[in-house]
Amino acid sequence: MNDIQLIQSMLSNHKLDKSRDAAIVIPLVREEDQSLSILFEVRAMTLRSQPGEICFPGGRIDLDDVNPLAAACRELCEELGLSHNDFDVLTASALEPIMSPRRGKIYPYVCYIPDPSVISPNQAEVSTTFRVPLSYLLKHPPSEHKTSFHFEFSDDFPFHKIANQSAYKGQKQTMTEHVFEYDGHVIWGLTARLLVSFLAILNEGQDQS
């Protein structure tokens, strides 16, 4: 293949595979005392993927979604029984997207639900919801725990043909897992990562004000 224009055309026509990308919503809820809480979902036990785990509303971006924000709003309405008039999106652009090995790129948004009485969870997806005061989360940082992932190569991998072999054999990657605990609920994993990112923005804003 020696035709550079043909290669350029192929690159221009190539469509990025976004079939795994997802969008989620961090929902802020106004309580009766006018304080704010963050709403979390507990996934239905009948779901094949991660039953019973704690998460934010959200899911995969469909081909019919015009952008990640549209997907986030659609999932929020489907999972919590809301209409688009029941909430306000606080930023038109996503917070810093994060990468997930299994789910691709995840776009987080923040919304505000002024009247939580309109929430009616879809029992097929959400077994229950609970709320954690925003003030509590800002004052009680999560515990931190180190986790390691080991890389394993098949026996027929040609290590004898690559440079710096010792740097890759037995290699492991260490990362920090954050764990929030509140009223018997344990929030960790991807949900905790998103929560840490959001709270960091608020703490930074408070320090500058």
User: What is the spatial distance between Cα 73 and Cα 84, in angstroms, rounded to a whole number?
Assistant: 8
Q: Is 29 exposed, middle or buried (0-12, 13-18, 19+ CB in 10 A)?
A: buried
**What are the pLDDT digits (tens) for 56-96?**
999 999 988 999 999 999 999 999 999 999 999 998 776 88
**What are the pLDDT digits (tens) for 103-129?**
689 999 999 999 999 999 999 999 999
List, in order of start, the domains of the chain with CATH numbers.
Answer: 18-147+171-208 (3.90.79.10)
pTM across the whole model:
0.84
Span 32-50, average pLDDT = 90
